[in-house]
Amino acid sequence: MSLKVNLLGVEFENPLLPASGPSVGSLHSLVFFNQSKVGGIVTKTISIEGADVKKPCIVAGKHTVYNTELWSEKPLEEWTDKILPELKKDLNKPLIVCAGYTSDDFKKSIPHLDKFADFFEVSTHYGKDSLHDLVSTICSLTDKPVFIKLSPHVTDFIDFIDVAIKAGASGVVAVNSVGPGVCIDLGKRSVTIGTEEGHSWISGPAIKPIALQRVMTIRKHYPDLPLIACGGVASARDVLEFILAGADLVQMLSSALINGRQVYNHIVEDLPELMAKHNIESIASLRKTPLSLEVKGKGGYPVVDKDKCVLCHKCTNICPEMAMRQETYIVNDSDKCIRCGLCESRCPTGAISGVI
Ligand SMILES: Cc1cc2nc3c(=O)[nH]c(=O)nc-3n(C[C@H](O)[C@H](O)[C@H](O)COP(=O)(O)O)c2cc1C
């Protein structure tokens, strides 16, 4: 079984990387990742001046992170004179350097960052107008592959990627945070964090389906484009789902902000067993497996396995048609049941079958 990924000639031990953000914004946190089990490292977005960020700027719930961070609060020289040279001494995995934001910034920063990077990653927040200039400028300053990072609010993203590829981009990272959104503190009668408009950006498991849709759609349009998934990853299963949807590599940030950084090693450790369970020989073979868009569930009535059912009543409580009820065991009323599949998807013991 192999977890390895070769992308544009660069070897990654496994497909999991940290995503750009505060967890990869200082030397000690980057050293943590160098010593961890992730397959590669990504930096916080580096610009010329350090960002001036209004605090507080990050809060989280169970499935969602809200943030108002900008790029790195450290200036370019701190990265090029201290952090990256120090990291590079013992670096044992590929490094993706995130750079921002304008063509003029790139003219100043890329010549200094170039020697540290295996790939560059560039956030592309807004319309297509400046995209060609932005991407062609950075590509003229480096021979390293340049990945553009897609914001999920770009709706014509296939056209958008077309422009970037024509300008010289080698690949895509999909996606950045979703939004804007709003996070409210009821007690203070105010937003908890926010810009002057009260806006914040949303990430974490809540955004995974949006990221999956972007990855799947990009892969269908560009069968061979180097593609890094990002958004809502929390488990080894999520990583494999993104690879099946078409990702070559998978980044994660918010789940570690919600649950702790040990989640990176846990995911890498969990991958082999989950791959064996699903007969996946290698990450490379899963990446080449087509994702079927045919729904393969049976769409029948739910059948409850009495031996597995623990009478927890999850299904009776959640069934929108109130079709599940307990007699001696849990039974389904087929006159009420709409065969939606919700009960089967939420049964904690896998006792329900027949629908999905
Ligand atoms: C606190 C925070 C800071 C972030 N900073 C950056 C950044 O500097 N550059 C960037 O490209 N993306 C940044 N992101 C976006 C993440 O890299 C990632 O695209 C997004 O959070 C979705 O992935 P996730 O759900 O695994 O967090 C940031 C996200 C958060 C939550």
For 3-22, write each residue's pLDDT tens digit: 999 999 999 999 999 999 99
Question: Is residue 329 located within the same domain as residue 255?
Answer: no
From 264, 288, 312, the end of a domain falls on: 288
Question: Is residue 165 located within the same domain as residue 31?
Answer: yes
DSSP label of 39: S
What span, in angstroms and rounded, lies between the C-alpha atoms of 221 and 172?
13
For a ligand 1 pocket test, name from 65, 122, 176 the mutation site with the most ligand atoms within 8 angstroms of its C-beta: 176
Report the pLDDT averaged over residues 112-133: 90
Question: Is residue 137 located within the same domain as residue 202?
Answer: yes
CATH of the domain at 330: 3.30.70.20
Whether 259 shows a pLDDT value over 80: the answer reads: yes
Atom of ligand 1 nearest to the CA of 255: 26
Q: What is the total count of domains within the chain?
A: 2
- pLDDT for residue 278: 98
Range of 313's domain? 303-353
| CA 202–ligand 1 middle distance (angstroms) | 9
65 pocket-lining for ligand 1 (C-beta < 6 Å): yes
Question: Is residue 239 located within the same domain as residue 130?
Answer: yes
44 pocket-lining for ligand 1 (C-beta < 6 Å): yes
From 233, 253, 288, the end of a domain falls on: 288
Question: Is residue 349 located within the same domain as residue 270?
Answer: no
Whether 129 shows a pLDDT value over 80: the answer reads: no
User: Which pLDDT band, with edges at 50, 70 and 90, does 48 fall under?
Assistant: very high
230 pocket-lining for ligand 1 (C-beta < 6 Å): yes
Whether 289 shows a pLDDT value over 90: the answer reads: yes
- pLDDT for residue 125: 74
122 pocket-lining for ligand 1 (C-beta < 6 Å): no
Tell me which residue has its CA closest to atom 18 in ligand 1: 176
Domain presence at residue 295? no
For a ligand 1 pocket test, name from 20, 146, 208 the mutation site with the most ligand atoms within 8 angstroms of its C-beta: 20
Whether 146 shows a pLDDT value over 80: the answer reads: yes
